[in-house]
Amino acid sequence: MLAGGISKGNFLYVHSVNVFIFSLKVGFGLRLDKLQLIDLGLAALLHDVGMAKIPDEIVNKSGPLTPEELSQVRQHPLYSVTLLEKSKDLEPVILQAISQQHERIDGAGYPKGLAGEAVHPYAKVIGLVDVYEALTHPRPYRKHYTPDEAMKMIAY
């Protein structure tokens, strides 16, 4: 169980729905068209499905992750793609955005260390929103931050 009695499944569900909603709000602000919003929304909603392959004791751990545990967690975007690529109904851009959700424009992300324009714009949106959403909700190892605190942490 996570803080407040939230199970792994509920945590991932609530997190994914929040990332979906916030990503669509950003997409509207970017004036994406209907088909782009559908692709962004599906990628955002499904972005963490690969976390289901991460053991509960790692997801629910109340302290810092070991290097081995962190390595496992960093595989979840690839696990997500592996699970979802079997579907013939998902556009390739959705899988690309999911696989790149933790890449950062400065190359400091994972799993491939992509940088700049190599990171798909949808992945940039999902990555930003994912960080904000994670910071504004408690985790087993830390308190939550206020929206203002989270925005300052992201911006600086």
pLDDT tens string 48-71 = 999 999 998 998 888 889 999 999
**Number of domains, the chain:** 1
Q: What is the pLDDT of residues 68-99, one digit of tens each?
A: 999 999 999 999 999 999 888 899 999 999 99
Query: What size, in residues, is the chain?
Result: 156
Q: What is the pLDDT of residues 99-126, one digit of tens each?
A: 999 999 999 999 999 999 999 999 999 9
- Whether 6 has a pLDDT exceeding 50, the answer reads no
How sure is the predictor about 1, in pLDDT bands with cuts at 50, 70 and 90? very low
According to the model, what pLDDT value does residue 7 have? Answer: 53
Q: What is the mean pLDDT of residues 136-156?
A: 88
CB 100 within 8 A of CB 68: no
Report field, pTM of the whole predicted structure over 0.95: no
Domain hosting residue 143, numbered range: 3-155
DSSP 107: S
CB 11 within 8 A of CB 93: no
CATH number at residue 13: 1.10.3210.10
The span from the CA of 29 to the CA of 22, in Å, is 11
DSSP 90-103: S-HHHHHHHHTTT-
Q: Which amino acid is at 98?
A: I
According to the model, what pLDDT value does residue 40 have? Answer: 98
Q: What is the largest CA-CA distance in the chain?
A: 42
